[in-house]
Amino acid sequence: MLKGDLMSLPNKSTPDLQSCPIRDVLDRIGDQWSFLILLELQDGVRRFSELNRAIDDVSKQMLSRTLKRLEQDGFVHRQLYPEIPPRVEYRLTELGRSFLVPLNALVAWADAHHSTIRNCRKTYDAAP
Amino acid sequence: MLKGDLMSLPNKSTPDLQSCPIRDVLDRIGDQWSFLILLELQDGVRRFSELNRAIDDVSKQMLSRTLKRLEQDGFVHRQLYPEIPPRVEYRLTELGRSFLVPLNALVAWADAHHSTIRNCRKTYDAAP
DNA sequence: CGGCATCCCCAGAGATACTG
DNA sequence: CAGTATCTCTGGGGATGCCG
């Protein structure tokens, strides 16, 4: 039952975080914006400003940084049209699309269990 | 295709992060330790010190804080045995176990695509 | 329009020490 | 053993402004 995968989690004797797949991946896309961008791109191509508007509480600074990292890791493809004014389009790569599967599973789980979690918090906080 | 779920992602007009399930959930378990703890607990009951040893680069400070949050959110059950010296056992709740499904999907994905990602980074960084 | 550079600031992680 | 308390400090994110 994923024993093999878990064995590749050994924090023991592997001070290098990069060597642990899940830690390496989550350190990159576990931030506040990455997954929102990926979800936004799942419907197709988006321009920078479109993403900025779609995720309305992200600054263009963070959007820029996050997109660059996603591009760097191969989740996203960046296409520049050298027009004036410049136009840039972002789309998911094959890798990025494949990531949508586990990501959407997570979204579905969160959606299904959110109210339960919120109730747990209330109960917990109500206790002395 | 999960359109319904995506519509519940609207950052627009919902300044309250709590109201977005996936953001709320990921803000809590998207940190560096939560998912490692959950994975460690999937094999059964663990004592505090066992977790501390299993995840060898977590401080007991952070382990304690993270466990408390996981308990608060209902992922983990904490059982105190009032002995001397004290003994505390942690185990997954039903909710916690259900979360293992999407989590393990993510682990499997990371495991399968980690080398691809690392190659992408190299290629990207090599480019001028 | 897209995106860096710069400055600032604070939540959060580490270190250390103490307690039931 | 299983935490909590306090302090410190850093790095990641916001705000602002400039550039091609």
Report yes or no on whether pTM surpasses 0.95: no
Pick A106's closest partner by Cβ from B22, B39, B57: B22
Which fold does the domain B18-126 belong to in CATH? Answer: Arc Repressor Mutant, subunit A (1.10.10)
Q: Estimate in Å the CA A42 to C1' D10 gap, whole number.
A: 36
Q: Is there a contact between B75 and B102 (Cβ–Cβ < 8 Å)?
A: no
User: How far apart are alpha carbons B99 and A106 in whole angstroms?
Assistant: 8
User: How far apart are alpha carbons A8 and A3 in whole angstroms?
Assistant: 9
B interface mutation test: which of A107, A115, A119, A124 has the most B CBs within 10 A?
A107
The predicted-structure confidence for B54-67, as pLDDT tens digits, reads as follows: 999 999 999 999 99
Task: Map out the domains of chain B as residue ranges.
Answer: 18-126
Record: contact A73-B117, CB cut-off 8 A: yes
Q: Residue A5 has what pLDDT?
A: 38
pLDDT tier for residue A108 given thresholds of 50, 70 and 90: very high
Compute how many other C-beta atoms are within 10 angstroms of the C-beta atom of residue A5. 17
Q: One-letter amino acid identity for B66?
A: T
Give chain D positions with protein CB within 7 A: 1-6, 12-17, 20
Q: Residue B128 has what pLDDT?
A: 66
Q: What's CA A127's distance to the chain center, in Å?
A: 35
pLDDT: which is higher, A4 or A62: A62
Does position A13 have pLDDT exceeding 70, yes or no? no
Contacts of B70 in chain A (CB under 8 A): none
Distance from CA of A13 to the nearest CA of B (A): 9
> Which tokens is A85 given?
């004014």
Does position A16 have pLDDT exceeding 50, yes or no? yes
Which nucleotide is nearest, taking the CA of residue A63 and each C1'? C3
Please list, in sequence order, all residues whose beta carbon lies within 8 angstroms of the beta carbon of residue B98, skipping any fewer than 6 positions away: A109, A113
